[in-house]
Structure 1
Amino acid sequence: MRSRSRGLLRATTVGCHLIAFVVLSAVIALSGGMTAMQEGVAETRVERVLVTTVATEITPVVADHVEETLGRAQREGHAAYVIELDTPGGLAESMRAIVQDILASETPVIVYVSPQGARAASAGAVITLAAHAAVMAPGTSIGAATPVGMQGEDLGAKVINDAAAHAESLARLRGRDVEFAGAMVREGRSLDVSQAVRTGVVDAQASSLREALSAVDGRQVRVAGDRTVTLRTAVARADRAEWGWLRQVQQFLASPNIAYILFTLGLLGLLYELASPGIGVAGIVGAVSLVLALFGMAVLPVNAAGVVLLLIAAGLFLAELFAPGIAGFAIGGGVVLVLAGVFLFDEAQGVRVDPMVALPTAVVIVVLAVIAGRIVYRTRHGSAATGTSALVGRTAQVGESEGDRGRIFMDGAWWAARSTGGPLSPGQDVRVTDVDGLTLVVEPLREDPSASDGDA
């Protein structure tokens, strides 16, 4: 009996140990499985990049857009911020604002010069140098960053040396070709994509955005705060930061040619409203155009001399309205308007009104100002005939007659008529010489046709 009890106890102990071993193994396996699942989730988590397109001149509107969307990329934790760039250049101050935002960013910035055939010229080249990573599509180019004046002439050595030093410092910061950075400013040098990759101006060549993200994947870059970040972009999802319609309108207006045309259109509308006041359509169009022109000028580097010339031109065109003659004021206003286009914007920023826009615009407004002056002259010196006095001088035919009296149909009504030149006859042409109450005083234009028939 005791032996049987001991055997049962031993069996029970072994069974408990076996159960404990199985439970412990299950816990270990479950724990390992959870860890593997967590690691798998971490490994399969897809990074995101925020992509925006800049395919226009660099203006304060573009600078605001980049600042806003780059801030969004940092707030939302994107792995990188990508600028798809295609620009001929733009304003130096706006370029510097974008560069400063890139340098202050804790999110890596990638510039992808695309699509094929695009360019990162002038201000665009400097922005590309400032990026943490730079990629170019086939058939693209970079460079030609020499500051130019309003007529395309090179500016002084002081301005060029300052721009060159800025470009060289950015190239040195990003480990790019410092020699080219200086040459593209001082000599206007440009490189195609293969040369840019070979000389280290950009990091890679890629035919698509996906290829560009793969090309820079794994690259270590230094962001704001002296922090090193490894780009994880090979399989990153691209979120688009599109331009809103309001931003697009602002960018359209932030053009020196558009601002100039809108100003002249506004001036023209106000001139015609003064020349022929009516329901105010011309005045409304003119006022809206002037407001839009002022917005464009507000975001562009404007010279005070150009503004003064615009006001002088407006004064001369107004003088043409009130003192029309041989169009002297209008022609003078046109000449001053062209000069205003030349001096309106700051040449150090490379912003100017195209002469092929300024000259035709001035010619058109001169012609229309002369026409407006003639309208004003006729309005002021023409006879203002109203009521029955408007009938004086008009001709009509006699409908009914009896001696020197008859009836005439004019303006949808029958009028009594009295002749001052003899008897009237039906069908006879007469001219109204006066209005006596409700009777028209007329004179015959030819002899009584019935009398001529009787003589024959």
Structure 2
Amino acid sequence: MNTARPAIRPLRVMLSLLSLLTGLMMLVSGQTASAATYQKAFWIPVDNTIERGLESFLKRAFLEAEQQQADLVILDINTPGGEVNAAGEIGQLIRQAPMHVVAYIDNQAFSAGTYIALNANEIVMTPGSSMGAATPIDMAGNAADVKVISAWSKQMQSAAKLNDRNPDVARAMVEIDTDFPGLKGKGTVLSLDALTAEKVGYADRVVAGKDELLSKLGVKSDAVQKIEPTAGERVARWVTSPVIMSLLLVIGLVGIVVELFAPGFGVAGTISLVSFGLYFFGHFVAGFANWLHIALFIIGIFLMIMEIFLPGGIVGAIGFISIVTGLVMAAYDTQQGLASLGIAVVITVIITVLLVKRFGVKGLFNKFILGDTQRNEEGYVAPKDQRDLLHKEGIALTPLRPAGMVKVDGKRVDAVSMGGFVAAGTPIVVIQVEGTRVVVQEQEQKE
């Protein structure tokens, strides 16, 4: 027994050293894994209201990141929320991204913004930031109906489960009339600050700011490339908002109606064209409209104008259908396009009625109908007698070739010249009056 002990002790020392070395290697390996370095990172802002224009921008940004073989995308989220449908599409885009996606919340990520963050591989927040309050609301600002809330709650829970987050927390952010002990009471919705979010597992870490975030991710600042929306994409984001969509259609249609009451083509017509132009431009840049939709709208306008010269109603009806089809098909969603157009038509009809009451029906159709009528009971109405203009002097307001306009006795008169061309500004004298025909010639120069 005593002779074996000296041999056992060196063996124990070697095993202890081997265990210590293995532990150190595992520790170093763990630190390396926790501070994984990324070769190329993209910084993408997700700000303001969530809408279809943002979805279009993010599709381009993720495609560009993939083409440049980025292995990290940081979404800088700062939004009060927005469209549920747009958020759903953006969430799918994030889930299918081949690179690691980090949702960075430096201020707020409410409602649809929370859903977008939950689809990322990792959520990082800063002190003072918050997320949650994801109850969907309607256009009037009230909570949506039970079906919409239930469906959205399921989407939020599914997104939470992607990274093993508690789905009940997601439900508490959506459902108002449900009590969640320890999270919120009935009649409220859950919002989380950064520290609480980290505590319940909805924030993977809390950092002081961007520099600490990049340091924790093992990313050098010069390896981060920021993608900003283009000017056209900014316009598209603004235009594709349901409220702005409806407003542009209202302005466009009302502009046409006002133009019918005003002589000539003026401010109302110009504003109408600009509104429709913005509508199509925004949806075109966002990738929802194409040249066919624009062509349908232009053809419809042309047919509506042709209806003035080709009475019968068929051409006008086809033109109206073509305009409606172009506007609705250009929208990102047919149902939303119909809803926006319906709102615009109702408001336009109301304004048209008010204008008719103010200016009368004649004010609306004075461009398309003859203003003076011959009534049988009045008999024949003779043309105005202009014989009092004979031998009076005046001046040519326009060139006479030989017809033109002259000014005689303070009145503008249609006239023809006796001796051929007469330049504008030339003194003239009336030499003959036959009914409505007034004949003039140049005044003789006095020496």
* Superposition TM-score, scaled by structure 1 size: 0.55
Within the alignment, does 1:202 sit opposite 2:191 as a pair?
no
Q: How far apart are the structure 2 equivalents of 1:366 and 1:85?
A: 46
- In structure 1, what is the equivalent of residue 62 of structure 2? 70
Out of 242-251 and 174-183, give the one that drifted further: 174-183
Aligned residue among 34, 41, 48 for 1:49: 41
5 Å-filtered alignment, 1:25-424, equals 47-114=39-106, 118-187=107-176, 188-215=189-216, 217=217, 232-233=218-219, 237-275=223-261, 278=264, 283=269, 285-290=271-276, 292-293=278-279, 375-376=363-364, 380=369, 382=371, 408=409, 410=411
Out of 269-278 and 147-156, give the one that drifted further: 269-278
Q: How far apart are the structure 2 equivalents of 1:408 and 1:155?
A: 73
SS of match in other structure, 2:170: helix
**Cα deviation code 1:346-387 (max 9, x no counterpart):** 9x99xx98xxx9999887676566559554455656569xxx
Q: How far apart are the structure 1 equivalents of 2:161 and 2:62?
A: 23
Q: How far apart are the structure 1 equivalents of 2:348 and 2:277?
A: 19
Amino acid of the structure 2 residue aligned with 1:159:
V
Q: How far apart are the structure 2 equivalents of 1:368 and 1:300?
A: 37
Q: Report if the CA contact (8 A) 1:57-1:88 is conserved.
A: yes
Aligned CA-pair RMSD: 5.0
Q: How far apart are the structure 1 equivalents of 2:384 and 2:45?
A: 66
Report percent identity of matched pairs: 26
Q: 1:46 to 1:88 in 2, by over 3 A?
A: closer
Amino acid of the structure 1 residue aligned with 2:276:
L
Unaligned runs of 5+ in 2: 1-34, 177-188, 289-304, 309-330, 374-382, 394-407, 413-424, 441-447
Amino acid of the structure 2 residue aligned with 1:189:
L
5 Å-filtered alignment, 1:433-444, equals 437=438
Q: Report if the CA contact (8 A) 1:49-1:236 is conserved.
A: no
**Cα deviation code 1:195-214 (max 9, x no counterpart):** 22232211233343222223
Q: Report if the CA contact (8 A) 2:253-2:348 is conserved.
A: no
Q: 1:237 to 1:383 in 2, by over 3 A?
A: same
Q: How far apart are the structure 2 equivalents of 1:409 and 1:119?
A: 72
- In structure 2, what is the equivalent of residue 223 of structure 1? none
Q: How far apart are the structure 2 equivalents of 1:372 and 1:54?
A: 51
Q: Report if the CA contact (8 A) 1:49-1:238 is conserved.
A: yes
Q: Report if the CA contact (8 A) 2:53-2:238 is conserved.
A: no
Q: How far apart are the structure 2 equivalents of 1:256 and 1:393?
A: 65
Residue 94 (structure 1) shift? 1.9
Q: How far apart are the structure 1 equivalents of 2:410 and 2:52?
A: 69
Q: How far apart are the structure 2 equivalents of 1:272 and 1:107?
A: 54
Q: How far apart are the structure 2 equivalents of 1:106 and 1:166?
A: 22
Aligned residues: 315
Q: How far apart are the structure 2 equivalents of 1:359 and 1:146?
A: 30
Q: 1:285 to 1:55 in 2, by over 3 A?
A: same
Residue 137 (structure 1) shift? 3.1
Q: How far apart are the structure 2 equivalents of 1:137 and 1:392?
A: 88
* Superposition TM-score, scaled by structure 2 size: 0.56
Unaligned runs of 5+ in 1: 1-42, 218-231, 302-317, 322-343, 400-406, 419-433, 440-456
Q: 1:372 to 1:242 in 2, by over 3 A?
A: farther
Q: How far apart are the structure 1 equivalents of 2:45 and 2:139?
A: 27
SS of match in other structure, 2:162: helix
Q: 1:257 to 1:365 in 2, by over 3 A?
A: farther
Q: Report if the CA contact (8 A) 1:61-1:247 is conserved.
A: yes
Larger Rg: 1
Amino acid of the structure 2 residue aligned with 1:265:
I
- In structure 1, what is the equivalent of residue 327 of structure 2? none
Residue 85 (structure 1) shift? 0.9
- In structure 2, what is the equivalent of residue 341 of structure 1? none
